[in-house]
Amino acid sequence: MEDKAQIQEAIKSQGEVVRKLKSEKASKEQIDEEVAKLLELKARLGGDEGKHQFVLKTAKGTRDYNPKQMAIRERVFNTIISSFKRHGAETIDTPVFELKETLTGKYGEDSKLIYDLKDQGGELLSLRYDLTVPFARYLAMNKITNIKRYHIAKVYRRDNPAMTRGRYREFYQCDFDIAGQYDAMIPDAECLKIVHEILNELDLGDFCIKVNDRRILDGMFAVCGVPDNKFRTICSTVDKLDKMPWDEVKKEMVEEKGLSEEAADQIGEYVSMQGGRDLAERLLQDQKMSQSKQACAGLSDIKLLFSYLELFQVTDKVVFDLSLARGLDYYTGVIYEAVLTQAGVTLASAEAENGAPAEERVSVGSVAGGGRYDGLVGMFDPKGRRVPCVGVSIGIERIFSIMEQKAEASAEKVRTTEVQVLVASAQKNLLEERLKLISELWEAGIKAELMYKKNPKLLSQLQYCEESGIPLVAILGEQELKDGVVKLRMVATREEADISRADLIDEIRRRTPQA
């Protein structure tokens, strides 16, 4: 038994913590967490203090989706899936957990963020961290050498959640990948075309797709005099350029990572370069850069890529940016990342209210990213057979956050059902007649509801339609039954018309065209 007085003391001081946070207008998240601790303490007081007190919350960094959020999510998914299907992608699914060793050695430092399952006897399992590694495992396991597939599913990272910015521990990824030995840059160009299509169609405001190549980065490091064994760590410092000014990045390179000032300055010159096909051409002539075979291979591919992107008419949004690095270990060629150039601002202001630290506020919204990873499948193949892959992942949570804010801000009401008609009665004792009619409507494929009351008031039935956006009411009364008609009421205009039972279904269809 625990010491009750001690727990009661703890409850008191935890209560103070909660009150303080509330008075300081701390973030909901923070308050919820402390309230949870408080409830837990109260629960420990046990039975004689009343009912057991459940901690009523979802796990840290996760959330439920309510019907309104689901309606928005469905819309976003439909746009994305349409684009994937337009490009001829099949879809696959993999389990939410993998053997632990499948994920081992794929994520570098981020491996510490993987969720493991408890050892309950049997295999050691981990929740998937992304969809790319399971995809590579799937290809190797089934000896598939050619596929174009999409996969939309949740992935799990024990990261520090920042939910107001759309960063969760459980979140969706929407991945499109092309696996196979093909001619250079054709599938890569299609991936960028898809990002362009999706971001356009989602109407999130202006965006920009940055493109670079791992080989250009490595070549650049080599010609700038970075020692071979420091490529990865210097690369991860370059990756911070979207959040930190050059001065600080340079400082990290020199002071923390021990790079010479001269090398850092040379890198600094390159990573400030942005352009298109012309920049790739110029760098191919660059005295220093052209010394690296790797860099030249990358630059030639960027040139080719841009020529295809011109045919796809997407070069307006694509920038060759030498500062783009991307963290993941497995990329081997082209890499890219799409950022919103307006919406980042919207999200940032929402979070400023919740007291997010200032440095987070300025970060721009990356909403898609990807690249070429030609070596990953080979890591799973017993004989090391390579299956070249290129893909893109749409960062859906941030997009949801923006769409939700848009919906909130707009006057338009988000409907959470597609119900066309409410079957209602004007008098008592007509439940049986309502059930009979609604059954006919369902049979005909009409989306219809009735109130689950024997004798609902007409007014409350009409109110229900107003609230939930149902456009039509089919009203039954003694007179209508005698006449073999139904009174059809248009909720928006309050207009009513008697429709014969035989015509009712057509009339409902005519008045509520379905997508």
Q: Which of residues 376-395 bind a copy of itself (CB under 8 A)?
A: 379-380, 382-384
Interface residue with a copy of itself among 227, 408, 454, 492 (CB under 8 A) is: 454
474 near a copy of itself (CB under 8 A): no
372 near a copy of itself (CB under 8 A): no
140 near a copy of itself (CB under 8 A): yes
Tokens, residue 352: 């400023």
Distance CA 201, CA 199 (A): 6
Distance in Å, CB of 62 to a copy of itself, minimum? 4
92 near a copy of itself (CB under 8 A): yes
Distance in Å, CB of 194 to a copy of itself, minimum? 9
Interface residue with a copy of itself among 19, 65, 262, 479 (CB under 8 A) is: 65
Name residues whose C-beta falls within 8 Å of residue 222's C-beta, 6 or more positions apart in sequence: 228, 292, 294, 295
Q: Which helix (H) or strand (E) holds 135?
A: helix 132-141
Nearer to a copy of itself (CB atom), residue 338 or residue 377: 377
CA dihedral 86, 391, 372, 368 (to 10 degrees): 110
Residue 372: exposure state from Cβ atoms within 10 A (0-12, 13-18, ≥19)? buried
Tokens, residue 213: 């190549």
Distance in Å, CB of 71 to a copy of itself, minimum? 8
Interface residue with a copy of itself among 7, 27, 45, 62 (CB under 8 A) is: 62
97 near a copy of itself (CB under 8 A): yes
String marking each residue 39-58 x if it binds a copy of itself according to CB under 8 A:
------------x-xxxxxx
261 phi and psi, to 5 degrees?
-60, -35
Tokens, residue 381: 């193949």
Radius of gyration of the chain (CA): 29
Distance CA 441, CA 137 (A): 48
Handedness of CA 242, 243, 245, 250 (dihedral sign): negative
Q: Side by side, which strands form the sheet with 147-156?
A: 90-91, 147-156, 170-179, 389-394, 365-372, 334-340, 207-213, 318-321, 274-275
Residues 179-198 touching a copy of itself, rule: CB under 8 A, are 180, 182-183, 186-187, 189-190, 193, 197
Nearer to a copy of itself (CB atom), residue 116 or residue 496: 116
352 near a copy of itself (CB under 8 A): no
Nearer to a copy of itself (CB atom), residue 183 or residue 412: 183
320 near a copy of itself (CB under 8 A): no
203 near a copy of itself (CB under 8 A): no
Distance in Å, CB of 331 to a copy of itself, minimum? 19
Distance in Å, CB of 392 to a copy of itself, minimum? 15
101 near a copy of itself (CB under 8 A): yes
Distance CA 286, CA 276 (A): 15
Interface residue with a copy of itself among 94, 363, 405, 427 (CB under 8 A) is: 94
Handedness of CA 263, 269, 274, 277 (dihedral sign): negative
466 near a copy of itself (CB under 8 A): no
34 near a copy of itself (CB under 8 A): no
Kind of pairing, strands 147-156 and 170-179?
Answer: antiparallel
What single-letter DSSP state applies at residue 153? E
What single-letter DSSP state applies at residue 477? -
Nearer to a copy of itself (CB atom), residue 245 or residue 445: 445
Residue with tokens 């160009």: 189
Which residue stretch of 16-24, 256-264, 430-438, 483-491 sits at the interface with a copy of itself (rule: CB under 8 A)?
430-438
Distance CA 53, CA 56 (A): 9
Query: Could you give the C-alpha distances from 348 to 24, 165, 405, in angstroms and in order?
Result: 20, 7, 12
Binding residues for a copy of itself, how many (CB under 8 A)? 94
Nearer to a copy of itself (CB atom), residue 216 or residue 441: 441
String marking each residue 144-173 x if it binds a copy of itself according to CB under 8 A:
---x-x----x-x-x-----------x---
Contact 221/347 with Cβ under 8 angstroms? no
178 near a copy of itself (CB under 8 A): yes
